[in-house]
Amino acid sequence: MKARGWLLLVLGALLVTPWLLPDYALEVAIQALILALFATAFNLVFAETGLLSFGHAAFFGAGAYTTALLLQRAGWPYLLTLPAAVVVAGLLALVIGFFSVRTSRIYFTMLTLAFAQLVWAVVHKWYSFTGGDNGITGLHPGALWGDARALYYLALVLFALGLAFVWRLHHAPFGYALRAIRDNQARAEAVGLSPFGYLLAAFTLSGALAGAAGFLQVAWQRSAFPDFLYWTKSAEAIIAAILGGAEAIFGPALGSLVFVELGAFVQSRTEHWPLVLGLVLLALVLFLPQGLAGLGGRRARD
Amino acid sequence: MDPSFVILQFLTGLAYASSLFLLAVGLSLIFGALGIVNFAHGSFYMLGAYLLYWVLRGNPEGLWWGLVVVAALGFAIGATTERLLLRPVYNRPEHYQILLTYALLLVIEDGVKLLFGAAYKSLGPPASLAYPVWVFGAPFPAYYFVQIALALVVAGGLWFFLQRTRTGTLVRAATQDREMLEALGVNVPRLLTVVFALGIALATLGGAATLPMQTVSPGIAVEAVISAFIVVVVGGLGSVWGALLGAFLIGEIQAFGVLVLPEFAIAFVYLLMVVVLLVRPWGLLGRPPAVRT
């Protein structure tokens, strides 16, 4: 009951937020929601299977470019590009996952990194189709989605759906199977689970969800850039997930909120945000191994 | 294609491969012995270039001793980093180690901006090397031969160190079984400090050695570390000769790729990385992982 009370409180706060914040803070809040969706998507693979993907920027970027290209070339209404973005990102994840989930540990990380960089290199240079390193700019997602409050609620709905989806998977037999494979692959196989199918399904769903975050990013920035697919974008999701606590279902979202809000705060005072972030992460790794969620968890357990 | 042009292109690729080798071989050694994927490796490479600029005060004439000083500084910085930051996370899951080295990447990149400014820095070769060598009637920068020679000297030195000295033998043993080494009474933590410091010294040396031919900015770090990953993945994580072969292949693919399909030369390189990981995940010259019991 207590957990439900907290959930309602957070939900209520998230719903009234756009009416309390000034314009700039609202833009920051939207960015936090987008990263929260992206990091939650990444964490679906990371937390449930233990595989650290360094290639999720490719799925984020695939979603973003699908939306951007459909807006620019085909004049689709913004919302209709969502299913397309999710499907394209999911298909890309299916292909990359098909080759990657068989490998283990560091090789999985390196292979997802290599695939994502390959996609980045193509997008970065394919001027006639993706605009190359100029990206696709000057997009108009429509009058409604140009309004920051409307975009905030859209991002909130998608994030909530994404989180609910991940929560549902976590408690479904599918989630139990993934964790069984993570903890002991040989034993999982012995009881008849096929690791390849489960891991590929999880990776594909995670990629599709990351595509939805890319879809939102396009409306927020009214542009798509190759940077969306660069490896440092994947690192953002990883940082947010571990900062918040990858073991908690809301950990990546919490980490995203802190990451984006702290970034906006520091950037308004100094241009040395990367230095501050680096020091925060060093402190986190050395002194707070469970992430921010671990703070509350430890207290609750005491 | 005109053969002299092909040779020039080959030499250019070789010069690029030389700095790739210096950059990547330390990453490979560190992964082999410490089991850590150092995302900050490109940052130390970038830092090396800035340190050289700082040590020489922008005057290229003292290049030789400048390189020695930078490598020594790199060794000291590497040893300190290992003792203070890496040692506490050896027994933690991989993603903490990755996050830690990524944090280092951010700190070094922004720290360099804070200390040296965000502007590009360039040095130019010393006067004794600032002339072209004529190769089959075409000009080729003399300094490139210095870079190639430096890489060969380092490769030879590493071979001697790893194969012919006691510490080198212990380093090779550490890549195979750290626990056994500890059980035999070897001071493994000190050995790992040496390996990390050596890897960082090589990265800073590599970065410093490119400064006379290239302008540097703090942003080169994130590109450099990815290039280093490609080299060691292709050559084999943990293998010195793999790093040499990987650097050679990547350097030449870049040099000739720009002739065939200039837009997508870099995509070829990533494609090679993907193919190697799929077909031979432990790399061309790496050892397949032993079956764990």
| Contact by Cβ (8 Å): B27, B98 | no
User: Nearest-CA distance from A65 to chain B in Å?
Assistant: 19
**A153-159: average pLDDT:** 93
Closest residue, chain A, to B232 (C-alpha): A110
Is position B152 within any domain?
yes
In this structure, are residues A26 and A154 in contact, taking their beta carbons and an 8 Å threshold?
no
The DSSP bridge partners found for residue A224 are A136
| Closest by Cβ to B114, choosing from A52, A115, A275 | A275
Residue B226: which of A105, A231, A280 has the nearest Cβ?
A: A231
- Residue B190 in any domain: the answer is yes
Q: What are phi and psi of A289, to 5 degrees?
A: -60, -20
Distance of CA A280 to the CA centre of its chain: 21
Interface test with chain A among B106, B223, B254, B266, by most A beta carbons within 10 Å: B106
With a CB cutoff of 8 Å and minimum separation 6, the contacts of B4 are B135, B136, B137, B138
Which of A42, A105, A106 to mutate to probe the B interface, most B CBs <10 Å? A106
- Select from B103, B222, B274 the Cβ nearest to the Cβ of A281: B103
Please give the interface size between A and B, counted as residue pairs whose CB atoms are below 8 Å apart.
Answer: 114
Question: Looking at residue A293, what is its pLDDT?
Answer: 72
* pLDDT at residue B262 tops 90: no
Q: Residue A48 CB: number of other CB atoms within 10 A?
A: 23
Residue A149 burial (CB count, 10 A): 14
- Closest by Cβ to B229, choosing from A113, A246, A284: A113
B168 part of a folded domain: yes
Burial (0-12, 13-18, 19+ Cβ within 10 Å), A180: middle
Indicate whether B225 belongs to any domain: no
Residues of chain A positioned with their CB less than 8 A from the CB of B43: none
The stretches of chain A forming alpha helices (DSSP H) are 2-20, 23-49, 56-69, 81-100, 105-125, 127-130, 143-146, 148-171, 173-183, 185-190, 195-221, 231-244, 251-267, 273-287, 292-301
Whether B274 contacts A111, CB under 8 Å: yes
Is residue B114 a part of any domain in this protein? yes
A133, closest residue in chain B (CA to CA): B263
Residue B157 in any domain: the answer is: yes
> Is residue B182 situated within a structural domain?
yes
Query: Considering only CB atoms, which chain B residues are within 8 Å of A115?
Result: 274
3-state secondary structure of A222: coil
Q: B135: domain range?
A: 19-217
Compare A295 and A96 and report the one with higher pLDDT. Answer: A96
Q: Give the count of domains, chain B.
A: 1
The rounded mean pLDDT for chain B is 89
The verdict on residue B290 lying in a domain is: no
Would you state the pLDDT for residue A300?
39
Q: Does A299 score more than 50 pLDDT?
A: no
pLDDT in tens, A24-35: 888 899 999 999
The CA distance from A45 to A228, in Å, is 20
Select from B113, B233, B267 the Cβ nearest to the Cβ of A118: B267
Longest dimension (CA), chain B: 61
- Please report the DSSP string for B118-137 in residue order: SS-B-----GGG-SEEEETT
In chain B, residues with a C-beta closer than 8 Å to the C-beta of A266 are none
pLDDT digits over A173-196, tens only?
Answer: 999 999 999 998 888 888 888 889
Mean pLDDT value across residues A123-139: 85
Among all residues of chain B, which has the CA nearest to that of A51?
B95
Complex-level ipTM = 0.86
Task: State the CB neighbour count (10 A cutoff) for residue B86.
Answer: 21
